[in-house]
Structure 1
Amino acid sequence: MIACLRLFSALCLAALLVACASSPSSSLGELPRTADASIEQLLEQAATSTTPEKAALLRLSAADLAYRQGNAGQSAQILQQVPMDQLKPGQQVFASTLAAELAMTRNQPKAALTALSHPSLQRLSELPVEQQVRTGTVHARALEADGQTLAAARERIFIAPLLSGDVASKNHEAIWALIASLPTDQLQPITTDDLGGWMSLAVAVKNAGTLEQQQAAIDNWRAQHPKHPAAIVLPLPLTQLKQMASQPLSKIGLLLPQDGPLASVAKALREGFMAAHYQAQQAGQKPPAIEFYDSSHLTSLDDFYRKAQADGVQLVIGPLEKPLVKQLSARPQLPITTLALNYSEGEQGPAQLFQFGLAAEDEAREVARRARADGLHRAAALVPKGEWGDRVLKAFRQDWEANGGTVIGIERVDQPVALAQQIADLFQLRQSEGRAKSLQSTVGSQVAAQPSRRQDIEFIFLAATPQQAQQIKPTLNFQYAGDVPVYATSHVYSASGDQNQYNDMNGIRFCETPWLLDANDPLRRQVTAQWPQAAGSLGRLYAMGVDAYRLAPRLGQLKALPDSSIDGQSGTLSMTSSQRIQRQLPWAQFINGQVQRLPDTPR
């Protein structure tokens, strides 16, 4: 009898649970559940459903199932058939969330944010935790993709208490990545909540210089915020900083060619590197020991790394040769952390590989950044014919157009004899002259008409040698375009001190390394006294050697703090997510044969 009663009670309880699961939950409405049926079966049930509400819910389930199965196109088609006005608020939240997720698969964060602005989202906190997490996660992703970094961090902090396990850990790391990427002027920890704590941690770490100072700042912050999530579980990049601080860099392997076509480049890099090393010694620091290796006779990278490990090397700087860098980039991992002094073609290499060089693409992006800061929108481009010119133009164009600018004319410069015609074509001068001749023919008498040029070009992006620039600027003047601003890469500047050469380039603005623009820098004065060639165009390589030395102990910091930078001699150095060092450069202008420094581009 007792057994029968227990069975009856269990059956009643099961029936009650089924009823609760299948009936609408108050005014919010029933949410779609993981479906046992296929997409086709759900759509068939929707087609034969007796009520519009049930049909809408079945289609919503089918759209969700298609999305979970990776068929975003089918999911979007089904979702379009679901009338939002026939859904209850909870179901509207579900549909809006799914619409946002589908928008993100198309890389359309603004469309995702529009979907998440539906009025029903005001009742999100009344829905099950799983739904709150799902909605909050896609909201954070959309905000981040839309450039709203702080709002994305705020959203992730909001859902953090609802998470557990690996999902919680990933969200925790994502919060730090977002907060750490914020510029310092946006880190204003005026509140004492979790967000304020995250911000004050980022400020403490960014304001500290050396690894030791950063570690002390982290320890002090944890002592002041013992219950903060980041104090309980320190973000992984900061844990890595702690490990680096406990293992100071004591030996560097410098891998450069001593023979071959790159020997002179390597010599300048090596001399700049060692100049920075000796300066550190003179300042009373304890710089790492340097072990030299010759890459020009390298037969096996594996043999080299075995030798370097046996020598106690903790960091390799080099190689310089592009084929060797390409080989390193293709490997799944490296036995020793390596700062290559060139770039591979692919974006991402092994975690132990960092890449640094004087990339012309950096300067093309710098031109785009500067012209934007100066309020310009429409560009024309003059670049050399060939692979180098194509690469530089591609970098400029991608950055310029991605930020709302337009490129309305391009000419690839080759033979000087064609230059006048190319510039005339760029500014449509021949069309203007043709109209004047046509008018003269019609009226049958002489017409006084000065050729006019197109007026929609706001500036010219120029990548050219000094010799080309000497011809291009006077030709622009001759072709009635002398008033159009010219923004150039450093390649126009020979650093020769030839005032006559600079007169021909009057008005051109160009980006350049701090090394060549600041003759009073103490290290530069010291180096040029010993190696006078470092004051000329080779100075860029000396500057890169100095910066390679200064980057060595800071790679982990730049990786851990995405928005941080180093004021180097080759530019202001920061790191991309693919562990490439990129440069932001200062600016100068040729004025009456002199090089005059311009105010820096706002960061």
Structure 2
Amino acid sequence: MIKTKWLPYAYLSLLILIMQGCTTPTTVDTPEDKDKPPVSTDGRELTEIEKLLLQAEASTPIEKTEYTLQAAERLFEEKEYEQANILLDNINPLMLSVLREQQLWLLRARIANAQFQPQLSLDWLSKLTQTDILPLEQQIIRTELEVTNRNLLGDSSNALNLLIEQSAMASDEQRPQLNETIWRLLKSIGTETLASLQNNPDNSYLQQGWYDLAVESRTAGTDILQSSQALLDWQQLWTLHPAATALPTELMQILQQQAQPAGHIAVLLPQSGKLEKPSKAIIEGFLAAYYQNQRLGHPTPRLSFYDSERFTNLSEFYPTAEAQGVELVIGPLDKNKLTDLTRLESVSIPTLALNYSQENSTTLNLFQFGLRGEDEARQAAQKAWKDGHRTALSLTADTSWGQRNHQAFADEWKNLGGTVLAHQSFTGENDFSEKISRVLSVEQSEARYQELRRYVKGKVEFETRRRQDVDFLFLSALAKDARQIKPTLAFHYAAKLPVYATSHVYTGAPAPEIDQDLNDILFCDIPWILNADDSLRSGLELHRNNTQSRFGKLYALGADVYRISAYLNQLQTMEGSYLNGESGRLSINPDGRVVRSLDWAQFRNGLPERLSK
């Protein structure tokens, strides 16, 4: 039951003015001050709310009610809910027009909702008996309030069904905004609840269409390929559904971000020199994806191939490419040539370089994509942190890539808030036991024992121990070394210490007999390696025997270069979007760098077992 109390308006006005900080009386206007705004005695101009309340005190009862309601509306906008309620408690609805009375109840419902009182908010809404006279925006607010309140009271399903059924009566003008509300509420519902709603046999046509749309959209996620295709499939099936002609803005943006393939692509990669071999692997993967797309009936661009080694300065290349109608450049691969591009303000043709510069680049139209071990090291830190670990040890190969991986891991771990307690590098030449003993502080344990023996006569009971303040070990080592490192960890009392590793620990080819020693190691790798049924890789395996090797990952890079080329701008501008590729889940940051999110696996019985995402 909703109750109101009645107080004198003069007392109420004084109370509100005090709450607003105006405890001094206002000055009396003289004729020459007539056109000046009212001020307090301290010279401060009155707020709009104070002016309304002063006008209310000097007006007729009907005008007084209107001014008071306006003041309460301003207080609501400023989130002064208690003060607004004090004013509203003193309004006689009989003094209001029919429209303003409806707006009074709506305002009270909004305040109750803002104060987390859903049932009270519903009680106020029940007093709205003529919602059709409200402006369109307020009609939608009223509907949203009812659904939100029911949702808060645990009645989300009925609330949503109510809103969807009400949308059937919406005008063409009302429908877009109403559909936005429905979509926002559908996104807020848990996956299990949504599945239950979708599978309800009593759904109406409207309900089933909305629930199918929500489930398919959620299943596709923000994968730029799957999400747009899921939407197109839904539109074909639900052509008569109100949402099909008035999709929520978020979904319209997905449709607008469909592939924009270049009509003419220039592949600017080395066809000679030290990078010729990796370049050929990238091109082969690129062409494999190109011809696969062609077989599926999709349009494919014209391709032109250029030897980047023939250009001392790439500024010589772009005018030629422009004259030939090139719309996208793939390359360069060489880091020095890429560095030259990053020093430019912009490149005249959108360019996807297949490497990363050392420095951040602001060059317009320049994108960067490659396979960096440092990406894996950072993701090892992120994975360990999400798993609840906070202190780490690091053991890496004494090589340039090993040192880079350690630094990338250590920097990311520090940024997350973790601590690297110790780091050791190994050469692999009979130094595993020594390095592992040092990183685990086993030598210190034994040294303490020897020191103790010097001072204690007789037999001393002692058990060598490793340090106990560490949560996990970060490992960056080739498979042949990792097979020796894991047993050595067990020898030094660290058999149960979690190990997070880069993809170097796995050769890419299943070898359960010799990989038993890798059991329990967690490592990240690309889908090309971990997917047993990759169709593109299977096709290449017919005439290549190295597709699952570390070198073979360049085929995956080439395939992804072709697939991502049509979505460069979309992935950079559409927040949260990604493309599931052969080399990982691909997104593009504001600097134009392709970011790879890798999959995780764990060795069990000598075989990598993929972990659920």
Matched residue count? 435
In structure 1, the residue matched to 2:387 is 374
TM-score (norm 2): 0.62
* Residues 488 and 511 in structure 1, CA contact (< 8 A), matched pair in contact too: yes
In structure 1, the residue matched to 2:545 is 532
Q: Assess, with a 3 A threshold, how the Cα gap between structure 1 residues 510 and 445 changes in structure 2: closer, same or farther.
A: same
* Residues 562 and 574 in structure 1, CA contact (< 8 A), matched pair in contact too: no
Give 3-state SS (helix, strand or coil) of 1:334's partner. strand
Structure 2 CA distance for aligned equivalents of residues 329 and 493 of structure 1: 34
Query: Does the alignment pair 1:569 with 2:590?
Result: no
Query: Does the alignment pair 1:209 with 2:225?
Result: yes
Instruction: Please point out which of 358, 369, 373 is paired with 1:345.
Output: 358
Query: Does the alignment pair 1:434 with 2:455?
Result: no
Q: What are the within-5 Å matches in structure 2 for residues 40-189 of structure 1?
A: 122-123=79-80
In structure 2, the residue matched to 1:600 is 612
Give 3-state SS (helix, strand or coil) of 2:285's partner. helix
In structure 1, the residue matched to 2:602 is 589
Query: Does the alignment pair 1:224 with 2:277?
Result: no
Instruction: Please point out which of 27, 33, 37 is paired with 1:12.
Output: 33
Structure 1 CA distance for aligned equivalents of residues 465 and 227 of structure 2: 60
In structure 1, the residue matched to 2:43 is 22
Structure 2 CA distance for aligned equivalents of residues 292 and 126 of structure 1: 72
Give 3-state SS (helix, strand or coil) of 1:336's partner. strand
* Residues 208 and 214 in structure 1, CA contact (< 8 A), matched pair in contact too: no
Structure 1 CA distance for aligned equivalents of residues 82 and 349 of structure 2: 49
- How far is 1:292 from its partner? 0.8
Structure 1 CA distance for aligned equivalents of residues 347 and 400 of structure 2: 31
- Note the alpha carbon deviations across 1:128-179, whole angstroms, 9 max, x for none: xxxxxxxxxxxxxxxxxxxxxxxxxxxxxxxxxxxxxxxxxxxxxxxxxxxx
Give 3-state SS (helix, strand or coil) of 2:421's partner. strand
Give 3-state SS (helix, strand or coil) of 2:542's partner. helix
- How far is 1:464 from its partner? 1.8
Structure 1 CA distance for aligned equivalents of residues 362 and 258 of structure 2: 21
- Which amino acid letter does the alignment assign opposite residue 209 of structure 1? L
Q: Assess, with a 3 A threshold, how the Cα gap between structure 1 residues 489 and 16 changes in structure 2: closer, same or farther.
A: closer
* Residues 40 and 46 in structure 2, CA contact (< 8 A), matched pair in contact too: no
* Residues 224 and 578 in structure 2, CA contact (< 8 A), matched pair in contact too: no
- How far is 1:563 from its partner? 1.0
* Residues 273 and 546 in structure 1, CA contact (< 8 A), matched pair in contact too: yes
Query: Does the alignment pair 1:301 with 2:314?
Result: yes
Q: Assess, with a 3 A threshold, how the Cα gap between structure 1 residues 525 and 27 changes in structure 2: closer, same or farther.
A: closer
- Which amino acid letter does the alignment assign opposite residue 600 of structure 1? S
- Note the alpha carbon deviations across 1:73-95, whole angstroms, 9 max, x for none: xxxxxxxxxxxxxxxxxxxxxxx
- Which amino acid letter does the alignment assign opposite residue 465 of structure 1? L
Query: Does the alignment pair 1:399 with 2:412?
Result: yes
Q: Assess, with a 3 A threshold, how the Cα gap between structure 1 residues 211 and 352 changes in structure 2: closer, same or farther.
A: farther
- How far is 1:403 from its partner? 3.2
Moved more, 523-532 or 13-22: 13-22
- How far is 1:430 from its partner? 1.6
- How far is 1:570 from its partner? 1.0
* Residues 516 and 539 in structure 1, CA contact (< 8 A), matched pair in contact too: no
* Residues 253 and 313 in structure 1, CA contact (< 8 A), matched pair in contact too: yes
Residue segments in structure 2 that go unaligned for 5+ positions in a row: 1-28, 52-76, 85-156, 164-176, 188-213
Query: Does the alignment pair 1:411 with 2:433?
Result: no
Structure 1 CA distance for aligned equivalents of residues 183 and 573 of structure 2: 14
* Residues 258 and 567 in structure 2, CA contact (< 8 A), matched pair in contact too: no
In structure 2, the residue matched to 1:544 is 557
* Residues 305 and 335 in structure 1, CA contact (< 8 A), matched pair in contact too: yes
Query: Does the alignment pair 1:314 with 2:336?
Result: no
In structure 2, the residue matched to 1:138 is none
* Residues 269 and 544 in structure 1, CA contact (< 8 A), matched pair in contact too: yes
- How far is 1:330 from its partner? 1.9
* Residues 253 and 315 in structure 1, CA contact (< 8 A), matched pair in contact too: yes
- How far is 1:257 from its partner? 0.4
Structure 1 CA distance for aligned equivalents of residues 258 and 347 of structure 2: 18
- How far is 1:28 from its partner? 9.2
- How far is 1:414 from its partner? 3.9
> Which is greater in Rg?
2
* Residues 356 and 581 in structure 1, CA contact (< 8 A), matched pair in contact too: yes
- How far is 1:248 from its partner? 4.4
- How far is 1:17 from its partner? 6.6
Instruction: Please point out which of 240, 253, 274 is paired with 2:287.
Output: 274
Q: Assess, with a 3 A threshold, how the Cα gap between structure 1 residues 324 and 482 changes in structure 2: closer, same or farther.
A: same
In structure 2, the residue matched to 1:63 is none
Structure 2 CA distance for aligned equivalents of residues 200 and 256 of structure 1: 49
* Residues 328 and 349 in structure 1, CA contact (< 8 A), matched pair in contact too: no
Give 3-state SS (helix, strand or coil) of 2:477's partner. coil
- How far is 1:273 from its partner? 0.6
* Residues 211 and 244 in structure 1, CA contact (< 8 A), matched pair in contact too: no
- How far is 1:512 from its partner? 1.3
Give 3-state SS (helix, strand or coil) of 1:299's partner. coil
Structure 1 CA distance for aligned equivalents of residues 224 and 526 of structure 2: 25
- How far is 1:301 from its partner? 1.3
